[in-house]
Structure 1
Amino acid sequence: MTTTGPGGDAQVMPCDAEGLRRQLVAALGPVAGEDAPLEARMIVEAATGLDRTALRLHGAVAVQTAQLAAAQTMLARRLAREPLSQILGSRGFWTLDIDVTADVLTPRPDTETLIEAMLDFVDADGRGRGYPWRVLDLGTGSGCLPAALLSELPEARAIAIDRSPAAARVARRNLDRIAPGRALVVVSDWASCLAATGCEAGAFDLILSNPPYIPSGEIRTLDPEVARHEPHLALDGGDDGLVAYRVLAPGIARLLRPDGFASIEIGLGQALDVERLLADQGLTTSVRNDLGHIARCVTARHAVSLAA
């Protein structure tokens, strides 16, 4: 069992790997809730080097002093409400491990809805997954969206844009590892740099975006993991949460090929407003729910592509 140190922090006691896992589950309960068992296992794996199978088969192996200290450090950071993804330096997204730092949003399962929508379009399209799709990601953050899409489309190439130089460095590292030579990461405010890269109207087959969409006044009410530790530049959507969409809608309409497809993440209750902004640019839209049955993704196409 964990004890309480002089500063009131939970202290793990010497034990075997399984005992460490149990201690961490108990200690993490107040901050991780039902995810405490998962987070505990991930910390044990990171501290000991045992993977899930090895932990199950060799849980009685003694935890070394240095390993215990590493687990203790990670526990203290997590109890301070730092996201586990930042502590471990990575997060699973789609079928990939994505590098994560405090400079980017942690990739979330809800965002995979954009990839599902995009691949459904590709699979229904006659060009197929082997076509050399031209992809644009606006506000790439960690680069998880183009990385996931390029992992499924072997001939595709992408331009990924973010206004944060620090985020762009993380995205470049992920894309260089996952899709080497197939992605260009550009530091820019949305699509304003595209003329300099030679991109013209209708230059992209597939456009992705997970823009900032939290209303400014609501950021302080979010979980501490988000409000304290994730970059507000990637969260703050202005007074009504829709500032980014007002800029993106005309850019998407201009840059999307007539037979192309766009997939855009939205926040709770924003579907109708975002659909209206895109419709004002002549785009036809639909809404896709995430696994929690919340409207999470607005897709857009040129009306001419549907009439053809």
Structure 2
Amino acid sequence: MSPAGGGDADALRRMLTARLADVAGADAGLEARMIVERVTGLDAAGLLTRGDQPVSPDARAAAEAMLARRLAREPLSQIFGTRGFWTIDLDVTADVLTPRPDTETLIEAVLDFVDTDGRGRGHPWRILDLGTGSGCLPAALLTELPEARAVAVDRSEAAARVARGNLARIAPDRAAVAVGDWATALSAAPGHVFDLIVSNPPYIPTNEIRALDPEVARHEPHLALDGGDDGLEAYRVLAPVIARLLHPEGFACVEVGRGQARDVERLFGDLGLTTSVRNDLGRIGRCVTARHAAAVAP
């Protein structure tokens, strides 16, 4: 591989932008800037005003190594080991899904419920996250709900380790992470209920995973992607679990894939829950919310 650009930060950024065009498309410039910031320590303002700053050989070598990994279609989040979500930065590995902006729709839905419920953000909310991955959902909620406590569940021990690290750093002593299947992980606490339940389960139909971008299909855990033949397998398991564990006055919210919202609503509706759909910024039905019917009766 040829040396990474000229001797200054701006030349390095221009070279990286050109090299990343085929894999990052319209985001090539953004990714190039993020790599330069990472290896030089400059922030966006610094790169703009001090782009002529010389780049050290070590920084150039680090940029070269990151570029090689990115050209192999590894996600930038895994290369950096971190990803921003909501107002926090999370540690990310190949064992968890990279948190995405669309998933922030769940945080917005939960906080809207909390703000209109009457108990307020200072209430000691009991939060459950089923299939926690990086722990992004409870971590974000715990930053907004200062008296809340959370339980996060994942089937993967490796994912649970990532979640434990993030939650211990972001909300120390306010969250516990359990390893196990959604339906059985909490069986040791029969009758225990939660005020707020969230989940971003696997919802990609099995035969569509190979067609996803290589960053996802090759580098993200299939356990967190594969939703079975029709993409709805996880919801069939989750719906009765949520109905059982949701407090009578509680609120649940699950992420769904494009075109799945109505099917997921039916699964919850069949259990007597009242549902609604919330769109993401792209006006795609991104999450289904659920409450016990008695809680929303006029």
In structure 1, list runs of 5 or more residues that go unmatched.
none
User: Of 204, 213, 216, which residue of structure 2 is paired with 1:214?
Assistant: 204
1:109-120 superposed matches below 5 A? 109-120=101-112
User: Of 127, 137, 159, which residue of structure 2 is paired with 1:145?
Assistant: 137
User: In structure 1, what is the equivalent of residue 283 of structure 2?
Assistant: 293
In the alignment, does 2:246 pair up with 1:256?
Answer: yes
In the alignment, does 2:39 pair up with 1:57?
Answer: no
How far did residue 14 of structure 1 move?
3.3
In the alignment, does 2:59 pair up with 1:67?
Answer: yes
User: Of 191, 196, 209, which residue of structure 2 is paired with 1:200?
Assistant: 191
1:142-181 superposed matches below 5 A? 142-181=134-173
SS in structure 2 at match of 1:205: strand
Residue identity in the other structure for 1:147:
A
CA distance in 2, matches of 1:298, 1:95: 23
1:3-22 superposed matches below 5 A? 5=1, 11-22=3-14
CA distance in 1, matches of 2:139, 2:185: 21
SS in structure 2 at match of 1:206: strand
> TM-score normalised to the size of structure 1?
0.95
For residues 79-132 of structure 1, give each alpha carbon's deviation from its aligned partner in whole angstroms, at most 9, with x where no partner exists. Answer: 110000000001110011011000000000000000000000000011000000
User: In structure 1, what is the equivalent of residue 228 of structure 2?
Assistant: 238
Residue identity in the other structure for 1:300:
A
- The answer to whether the 8 A contact 1:213-1:267 is kept is yes
CA distance in 2, matches of 1:133, 1:191: 22
User: In structure 2, what is the equivalent of residue 80 of structure 1?
Assistant: 72
User: Of 9, 29, 36, which residue of structure 2 is paired with 1:44?
Assistant: 36
Residue correspondences, number: 298
User: In structure 2, what is the equivalent of residue 136 of structure 1?
Assistant: 128
- The answer to which of 47-56 and 163-172 deviates more is 47-56
CA distance in 1, matches of 2:135, 2:223: 16
- The answer to whether the 8 A contact 1:14-1:68 is kept is no
User: Of 283, 286, 302, which residue of structure 1 is paired with 2:273?
Assistant: 283
In the alignment, does 2:25 pair up with 1:33?
Answer: yes
How far did residue 35 of structure 1 move?
1.1
How far did residue 34 of structure 1 move?
1.2
> TM-score normalised to the size of structure 2?
0.98
Moved over 6 A (4+): none
- The answer to whether the 8 A contact 1:138-1:191 is kept is no
- The answer to which of 276-285 and 13-22 deviates more is 13-22
- The answer to whether the 8 A contact 2:5-2:14 is kept is no
Change (3 A) 1:57 1:199: farther
CA distance in 1, matches of 2:100, 2:56: 33
How far did residue 223 of structure 1 move?
0.2
- The answer to whether the 8 A contact 1:204-1:257 is kept is yes
CA distance in 2, matches of 1:13, 1:111: 36
User: In structure 2, what is the equivalent of residue 302 of structure 1?
Assistant: 292
Residue identity in the other structure for 2:185:
C
In structure 2, list runs of 5 or more residues that go unmatched.
none
User: In structure 2, what is the equivalent of residue 265 of structure 1?
Assistant: 255
- The answer to whether the 8 A contact 2:105-2:279 is kept is yes
CA distance in 1, matches of 2:191, 2:151: 13
